[in-house]
Structures are given as C-alpha cells and as structure tokens.
Amino acid sequence: PYPNQNLFYRSDNATLARLGVPAHTISTTPIDVDPDYHQVSDEFETINVAHLTNTIRAISQAAVGIVSGQDTPTRVDASQLN
C-alpha cells in the first residue's frame, strides 16, 4: 500500500529473498501515520501487545496449510529483486 516508500527493499526481507529465503512483511499499522516508525521513540513500550498477539494468532492460522504440507508457497524470481 506504500509503493513510494519501497518498504520491502528497505527491510532485511529483500536481502533474504535474494538468497532464496521466504521473506514476508506484515504490518497492521499504517506506517505513514505511525509516529514511532523508524524513530528513537520506537521502543517496546509503544507496542500494542494485545494487537500484536491477535496478529500473530491470525498469521499462525493462515500458515496451517503450509506447515501441514497441504499448500506450497510460490517462489519469486530473485533476479527481479532490486
């Protein structure tokens, strides 16, 4: 949702993806309005732990098919990554 910020390539994910490691970005906070994103104030105390817990639960449920072997993730052509 923020293509002008090039988030995937600013994270560790792009480096991992270039090496063939599955790499995902998951965010439930619109970073363009998050006052702590990439700021000195970005500390544990600013995290909404209940929200984070719910997000982790949702991700774990979404991953059941992959973990059980029922689904297989697709790979991207790593040469296309900046």
Pair 12, 18: CB distance under 8 Å: no
Residues 40-82 have pLDDT tens digits of 999 999 988 999 999 999 999 999 998 999 998 877 777 776 6
Return the domain boundaries, the chain: 3-72
pTM: 0.61
Q: What is the DSSP string of 3-70?
A: GGGTHHHHSTHHHHHHTT--------S-TTT-TTTTSTT-SGGGS-HHHHHHHHHHHHHHTHHHHTTS
Instruction: Take residue 44 and report the two structure tokens written for it.
Output: 């544990």
pLDDT attached to residue 70 = 94
